[in-house]
Structure 1
Amino acid sequence: MGASADGPIGVFDSGVGGLTVLAEIRRALPAEHLCYVADSGHAPYGERAPELVRARAEAITGFLIEQGAKAIVIACNTATGIAAAHLRALHELPIIAMEPAVKPAAACTKSGVVGVLATSGTLKSEKFEALRGRFHGPVQVLTQPCPGLVELIETGDFEAEALRGLVADLVSPLLERGADTLVLGCTHYPLLHGLISDIAGPGVRITDAGAAVARHVRNRLAETGLLRDADNTPGDQRCWTSAAAPDASAALIRRLLGAAVPVAKLPC
């Protein structure tokens, strides 16, 4: 049986970071039902072996398809680089992936220097190297791996001094080398947009790919006849987490979404 337009859009990430993409999809497509998986029990993907990331992406995609998903959004740059092609080979439904917003950053930089904050896994991927190669030359594309940042974000304490100190240590070298535009190359990082902007200063532009992904989701669903009727009631949201402390993870998910959505323990 083919996918139904009334089915949900399935979205997953290694933790709560993909909620930033989910929020953009909700803004662009308010009528759509959304299912979200926070694989916090295996976060961060950027520090995991590729085999594990691929296996988790396959298992979670299968679970979301069981929930009736008509499309899958890989709301994780690391999982995109490792597993997107694999998932597309396995499944016929639309699979939408991430790409760090290097292209818009390269278009708007005035200094000619762009800094990319991302996980080690993303920066080591062939997909990112190909992306960087398309723009590096006319624009200098600097990269900054951010070990430990996702783990601090997953605690939900965005006011922690340790978090502010780490962000400052990561951003400062890029600014010192002339970057006037920063790319948030992990879906967790937009949760710190205000903090990063405060540290970087008003003269630095910050970009991420969430809104572009939401537009791509809308276009793919329109192309395949899977858009839910905009005259229908607003879509609902359901979430799952693989966190070792699911109650705490559920509380964080609800806080970040600003809604009392149902959050269950992920069974896979």
Structure 2
Amino acid sequence: MTNHSAAVPKIGVFDSGVGGLSVLKAIRREHPIVDFIYIADSGNAPYGSRPAAFIESRAHQIAERLVDAGAQVIVVACNTATAVAVARLRSHLPVPIIAMEPAIKPAVAQTKTGVVGVLATERTIESANVARLCRKFGQGVNVLLQPCPGLVEFVERGELSSARTREYLRMLVIPLMDKGTDTLVLGCTHYVFLESEIRDIAGPAVQIIESSAAVARQTLRHIGSKDIASAPYPGRGTFLTTGSPDSARVIFSQLWGAQVEVGALENSNVWAENRLN
């Protein structure tokens, strides 16, 4: 019988909370037999308004736990953590680090009106990474950077389509539409779970771009191509949180689209034995 541990790659994925599940789902669609550990630092979320030194420290601590657990690749499924901490992670850790960045380059390539809107956390909007992307790819295009304080918390609560969520999204999106935006960048992995509501507000003519599929493809390049058709079982997954596992179980299951178990990070140091469908 094929040894499962030898047969499939192992990846670690982390985010400030549940938003990175959007990236993990994209990875699993591309590579269903991958083993993973997903860590949500929900006990310290959101990162968007946290000091840079705090974010960098948390990212390094969590990434080290993933390496210690055997992750062969780490995906930083958080634009804010990428902007602040990815350079240190790449210089200190012995495995490939896959990072997020707002999809400004493809948005600029696709806009017809010459106006691109970017929805992101305050820390991401203020980052040197976003400034670099705007300088490099935004020449001749009006890139409107819209910070969204508090929007991550709506997703963390599972409040994806309430009247309160929709009204807040209208406050963020409609001013961008009024300025001629025809392409919207979702610059936070949490916002992917609000895409349906954002699309309804922005209208069918507006393109919405996010980075999860691109990150999934990049991850596959690092873990290699596998013959998934002949795999006798799906990959195994471990979901961990620094917040309340009982609370996390509800929102994780809602966003994952199936019932999952969520453990406390401090109580776990091995790959889970549960297999996911």
TM range (shorter): over 0.9
CA contact (8 A) 1:237 1:261 kept: no
CA deviations on 1:214-263 (whole Å, 9 max, x unpaired) are: 000011223xxxx55533322121100112x3201121102211223331
With the length of structure 1 as denominator, give the TM-score of the two structures: 0.93
CA contact (8 A) 1:237 1:262 kept: no
> What are the residue-to-residue correspondences of 1:55-204 with 2, within 5 Å?
55-204=57-206
With the length of structure 2 as denominator, give the TM-score of the two structures: 0.90
CA deviations on 1:97-118 (whole Å, 9 max, x unpaired) are: 0011111111111111100000
Query: SS state of the match for residue 34, structure 1?
Result: strand
CA contact (8 A) 1:31 1:229 kept: no
Aligned: 1:249 with 2:248: yes
Cα drift, residue 74 of structure 1: 0.2
Gaps of 5+ in 2: 268-277
For residues 158 and 252 of structure 1, the distance between their equivalents in structure 2, rounded to whole angstroms, comes to 11
> What are the residue-to-residue correspondences of 1:248-267 with 2, within 5 Å?
248-267=247-266
CA contact (8 A) 2:64 2:93 kept: no
The letter for the 1-side match of 2:252 is: I
For residues 8 and 247 of structure 1, the distance between their equivalents in structure 2, rounded to whole angstroms, comes to 26
Query: SS state of the match for residue 16, structure 1?
Result: coil
CA contact (8 A) 1:241 1:249 kept: yes
- Aligned residues with identical type, % of pairs: 49
Cα drift, residue 6 of structure 1: 3.4
For residues 235 and 49 of structure 2, the distance between their equivalents in structure 1, rounded to whole angstroms, comes to 34
The letter for the 1-side match of 2:247 is: A
Which is worse superposed, 93-102 or 256-265?
256-265
2:237 match: 237
1:22 match: 24
The letter for the 2-side match of 1:214 is: A
CA deviations on 1:16-70 (whole Å, 9 max, x unpaired) are: 1000000000011112111101111111111101111011101111111222111
For residues 138 and 105 of structure 2, the distance between their equivalents in structure 1, rounded to whole angstroms, comes to 11
Equivalences, count: 261
CA contact (8 A) 1:119 1:145 kept: yes
4+ residue segments displaced more than 6 Å = none
Gaps of 5+ in 1: none
Cα drift, residue 190 of structure 1: 0.6
For residues 258 and 165 of structure 2, the distance between their equivalents in structure 1, rounded to whole angstroms, comes to 25
CA contact (8 A) 1:111 1:178 kept: yes
CA root-mean-square deviation: 1.6
2:216 match: 214
For residues 157 and 61 of structure 1, the distance between their equivalents in structure 2, rounded to whole angstroms, comes to 28
CA contact (8 A) 1:115 1:182 kept: yes
CA contact (8 A) 1:32 1:228 kept: no
